[in-house]
Chains A and B, each alone.
Chain A
Amino acid sequence: MAKRIEVKDLDIYYDKFLAVQGVSMTIQPRSVTALIGPSGCGKSTFLRTLNRMHELVPNARVEGSVVMDDDDLYGPNVDPVNVRRQIGMVFQRANPFPTMSIYDNVAAGLKLNNKRLKKSDMDDLVERSLKSANLWEEVKDRLHKPGSGLSGGQQQRLCIARAIAVQPEVLLMDEPCSALDPISTQAIEDLMLELKANYTIVIVTHNMQQAARVSDTTGFFNLQGVGKPGELVEIDETTRIFSTPSQKATEDYISGRFG
């Protein structure tokens, strides 16, 4: 588990519109990589190219390469469905399936992959996933109640449990705490620090303190100018980005001079 992702000269297009240009970075396994930057700079777009979710937009495409260990994610004959089974994702708004119970939400991905999993094995996996997501104690007595009955923070942890139940290599998180209160946010941040022992985690966040708290590496995205594509300005160890960044734009952004 936990693989390295190597991104080289990635350009992201929506039809003819170039949204993000020339991103190269190495995402280290068993670490948290945070992506920060002003709204509309393409950091979420970039995140979604890592598991090919951006392809849901018609005519979206990329140039350049994304390689996970030795597998080219955009190689010929690569099925995006298989990419997404290895690279899980958690979204800005918690999105448990409203018609499913807590148990079924966690089991949803498992049922896709192993159709003939024994009931007891399934129970174990669901329990382990919920424990990993620090949610087990809160829901173990109501596993078969609807997931939509949980609080926002619990729902988000349920979504994390659902994502890690299929044992992905990488976990992508697109502003996972932006709709949560501080207590729930802290629960998720603690969880990230635990999960990075086993997973490669990439998180997009608007909250710079959050990036400073949870990440080992931070990448700063910015627009090249009005109406121009977004770019990766710099990426470095988090401590360095927040103390002595090498680029003026990064310093301006983290010191609150713009954005």
Chain B
Amino acid sequence: MASSTEAPPRKNRVPRRPGDRIFAGVSTGSGVLILVALAGVAVFLVTEAWPALTAPAEDIPGGQGLVVYIWPLLFGTLISAVLALVIAVPLAVAIALFITYYAPRSIAKALGYIIDLLAAVPSIIFGLWGMNVLAPVTVDPASWLSQHLGWIPFFAGPPSSTGRTMLVAIIVLAVMVLPIITAVVREAFTQTPQLHQEAALAIGATRWEMIRMAALPFGRSSIIGASMLGLGRALGETMAVAMVLSASAGGITFNLISSENPPTIAANIALQFPEATGVGMHTLIASGLVLFAITLVVNMIARAVINRRKDFDGAN
């Protein structure tokens, strides 16, 4: 702006057409609106959480203070999201590699559509599926796991008789974050420069060696970024987890197959909020504030990692 007012008066100014002005106004307004919405959410969370943050420890549900209340929730949120990623990321990378390099063109296309379709399934459907289909199916494998692999803390047992366990919640979350991760990673693989693929093949690399030399290094930052996006979604997922996990709040445990589970923040809010009053309600909102902060940080890291890809583009 400053430069246009200081410009010598005789210089031709580009005429400002009404269409340009309207469009500039609308798009600027939209951009500002996003910031206002975000700020509004943040302000709401902080003001509503404030009474819980300042309340005496014995008023918080559980009677032992805010940290003791939120910590198991945070633990449940993190363990479910991270383990869901541990399942989903290798699978997503493998699917993306298959679609990009191995599948015949027609199959690759169909598979791509199916993955995208998976992203469109509402989370409540995944919740129903997890609760009614997946949970009963896991009962027998879970008891086998606790018998034979019980020394691993994850499978310590005793196994739940309903199958509505953290393990099922993690599998459901993994299925839910799979599409976004696959889509981003596949996009990166299709952009692997022909130049680098040929470089690998010309020194006698097989298909798999070419993928290791050219495609995976090129796609690495995208894989990390996609995982972070998936993590963001898994952290905030409410309905599917709330439906799979029983309402009873267990403590902190790595045990994935027992009926005692640490609930997640989002699911806990959904289950408790309708009956919460007073400080209890403010406490739930405080837990929401924690979730908001974590998701924000994860997404910022994801952005930063994805942007770093520009460094690689500079190479050629």
User: Given contacts A99-B217, A148-B315, are A108 and B198 in contact (CB under 8 A)?
Assistant: no
- The CA of A97 and the CA of B316, in the complex, are separated in Å by 9
Judge whether A20 is part of the interface by a CB distance below 8 angstroms.
no
| CB closest residue in chain A, given B220 | A99
In the complex, how many angstroms separate the beta carbon of A102 from the nearest chain B beta carbon?
Answer: 13
Judge whether B249 is part of the interface by a CB distance below 8 angstroms.
no
A79-91 interface code vs B (CB 8 A; 1 in, 0 out): 0011011001101
A47-93 residues at the B interface, CB under 8 angstroms = 51, 53, 56, 81-82, 84-85, 88-89, 91, 93
Q: Are B202 and A97 interface neighbours, CB within 8 A?
A: no
Judge whether B312 is part of the interface by a CB distance below 8 angstroms.
yes
In the complex, how many angstroms separate the beta carbon of B119 from the nearest chain A beta carbon?
Answer: 29
Q: Are A97 and B198 interface neighbours, CB within 8 A?
A: no
Among A159-167, A212-220, A236-244, the stretch in contact with B: A159-167
User: Given contacts A97-B213, A98-B316, A108-B213, are A84 and B204 in contact (CB under 8 A)?
Assistant: yes
Residue from the list B206, B209, B214 in contact with A97, Cβ < 8 A: B214
Judge whether B107 is part of the interface by a CB distance below 8 angstroms.
no
Q: Are A93 and B204 interface neighbours, CB within 8 A?
A: no
Give the contact-size bracket for chain A: 20 to 34
Judge whether A96 is part of the interface by a CB distance below 8 angstroms.
yes
Judge whether A113 is part of the interface by a CB distance below 8 angstroms.
yes
- The CA of A148 and the CA of B196, in the complex, are separated in Å by 12
Judge whether B39 is part of the interface by a CB distance below 8 angstroms.
no
Residue from the list B195, B203, B218 in contact with A112, Cβ < 8 A: B203
Residue from the list A96, A98, A112 in contact with B204, Cβ < 8 A: A112
- The CA of A100 and the CA of B312, in the complex, are separated in Å by 11
Judge whether B270 is part of the interface by a CB distance below 8 angstroms.
no
- The CA of A93 and the CA of B218, in the complex, are separated in Å by 18
Q: Are A113 and B202 interface neighbours, CB within 8 A?
A: no
Q: Are A163 and B316 interface neighbours, CB within 8 A?
A: no
- The CA of A93 and the CA of B206, in the complex, are separated in Å by 22
Number of residue pairs A-B, CB distance < 8 angstroms = 72
Judge whether B24 is part of the interface by a CB distance below 8 angstroms.
no
Judge whether A22 is part of the interface by a CB distance below 8 angstroms.
no
In the complex, how many angstroms separate the beta carbon of B101 from the nearest chain A beta carbon?
Answer: 12
Q: Are A99 and B203 interface neighbours, CB within 8 A?
A: no
Judge whether B239 is part of the interface by a CB distance below 8 angstroms.
no
Q: Are B202 and A56 interface neighbours, CB within 8 A?
A: no
In the complex, how many angstroms separate the beta carbon of B308 from the nearest chain A beta carbon?
Answer: 12
| CB closest residue in chain A, given B203 | A109
Residue from the list B193, B203, B218 in contact with A84, Cβ < 8 A: B203
User: Given contacts A81-B206, A108-B213, A112-B209, are A95 and B316 in contact (CB under 8 A)?
Assistant: yes
9 contacts between A and B (CB under 8 A): A84-B202, A88-B203, A95-B316, A98-B218, A100-B217, A112-B203, A148-B314, A163-B203, A166-B204
- Other A-B pairs, 10, CB within 8 Å; known A96-B199, A109-B204: A51-B202, A53-B201, A81-B206, A82-B204, A93-B316, A95-B193, A112-B204, A146-B315, A163-B202, A166-B204
Residues of A within 8 A of B (CB): 51, 53, 56, 81-82, 84-85, 88-89, 91, 93, 95-100, 108-109, 112-113, 146, 148, 159, 162-163, 166
Q: Pick the 4 closest A-B CB pairs, nearest first.
A: A98-B315, A85-B204, A109-B203, A148-B315
